[in-house]
Amino acid sequence: MTQAELWQLQLMAVSNSMDGIGVLLTMLSGYLLTAYFVGNRLSRYQAALVSTFFVFGAGLSAFMTLVQLRRALYFIEQLGSQYDVRSYVPNTFMTYFGGTLLCLLVPAALFFMYQIRRNPTLGAGQGQAGANQGRRYFD
């Protein structure tokens, strides 16, 4: 491959990883807002469904972000070996460290939902009279 093609592939991989981080943060903020505002009013089944969708979506997004970052590192290594290009890139340890931090956001958000459901006074809907009336039919 030519140098221009390798640069294009590397920049596309970096762009894809940045998009993955954006998707992950969007899903995370949506899940946290859902947990905070209506988490204590959801039935057990509704909370399980929302949490399942979140785990699969956020887990896939975090995994694909890590894959794209590894692809970007591979193309930079190819540029360095074939064309003697010197570029600052994070090392492999930092890539996996960042990926691990992204993956830790998922259980932290699940724990937040658990805390809201266990103690309804923590969420935004605390103190509403009859807010949990519908839950008795589903639990």
In a domain, 112, yes or no: yes
pLDDT digits (tens, 9 = 90+) for 5-60: 999 999 999 999 999 999 999 999 999 999 999 998 999 999 999 999 999 999 99
In a domain, 97, yes or no: yes
In a domain, 3, yes or no: no
Instruction: Supply the DSSP string of 28-70, one letter for each residue.
Output: HHHHHHHHHHHGGGS-HHHHHHHHHHHHHHHHHHHHHHHHHHH
Enclosing domain of residue 102? 17-70+89-120
In a domain, 82, yes or no: no
In a domain, 24, yes or no: yes
Overall domain count for the chain? 1
pLDDT digits (tens, 9 = 90+) for 56-104: 999 999 889 989 988 998 999 999 999 998 877 777 788 788 888 888 9
